[in-house]
């Protein structure tokens, strides 16, 4: 949304310069778009939208890694950790674990 509003402000200025040189009233559309950008940024920071989005992405990546860990049988010894103050439950510590991960024999280099 922020990028769309910023692009709208640029389009309004370009349109004014190209088509409506003598009409300065169109510049108010740019001012409205820029004020909307600032209001959205302030509300987003106060509501913690970015932090919640980052926490959701972190959880999604942990779940994605967990699928592959479960498929290889390597997820048995993981300890729960908290990702931050936004997340409300335990998640996996990560895809790297100490101990054997492969189920079959390891091929040595010749």
pLDDT, tens digit (0-9, with 9 covering 90-100), for 76-91 = 665 665 555 554 444 4
Tell me the torsion sign for CA atoms 57, 58, 63, 69: positive
CB 84 within 8 A of CB 57: no
Task: Report whether pLDDT(109) > 70.
Answer: no
**Number of domains making up the chain:** 2
* Mean pLDDT value of segment 3-25: 88
- The helix (H) or strand (E) run that includes residue 34 is helix 27-47
Within a domain: residue 110?
A: no
Within a domain: residue 107?
A: no
Tell me the torsion sign for CA atoms 13, 14, 15, 17: positive
Considering the domain architecture, whether residues 38 and 74 belong to the same structural domain is answered as no
Considering the domain architecture, whether residues 64 and 43 belong to the same structural domain is answered as no
Provide the 3-class DSSP secondary structure of residue 80.
Answer: coil
Considering the domain architecture, whether residues 31 and 60 belong to the same structural domain is answered as no
Strand partners, 81: 91
Residue 74 pLDDT class (50, 70, 90 cuts): confident
Residue span of the structural domain in which 43 resides: 2-47
* Mean pLDDT value of segment 51-71: 88
What is the model's pLDDT at position 48?
92
% of the chain at pLDDT higher than 90 = 30
CA distance 16 to 38: 22
Q: What is the token pair recorded at 46?
A: 């106060």
Considering the domain architecture, whether residues 6 and 35 belong to the same structural domain is answered as yes
CA distance 46 to 42: 6
Within a domain: residue 16?
A: yes
Q: Which residue has the tokens 């699928």?
A: 67
Considering the domain architecture, whether residues 41 and 63 belong to the same structural domain is answered as no
């Amino acid at each position: 949304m922020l990028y769309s509003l910023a692009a709208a402000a640029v389009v309004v200025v370009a349109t004014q310069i190209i088509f409506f040189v003598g009409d300065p009233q169109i510049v108010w559309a740019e001012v409205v778009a820029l004020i909307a950008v600032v209001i959205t940024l302030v509300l987003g920071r106060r509501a913690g939208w970015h932090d919640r989005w980052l926490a959701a992405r972190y959880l999604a990546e942990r779940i994605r890694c967990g699928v592959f860990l479960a498929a290889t049988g390597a997820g048995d010894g993981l300890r729960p950790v908290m990702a931050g103050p936004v997340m409300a439950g335990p998640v996996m510590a990560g895809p790297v674990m100490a101990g054997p991960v492969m189920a079959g024999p390891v091929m040595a280099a010749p």
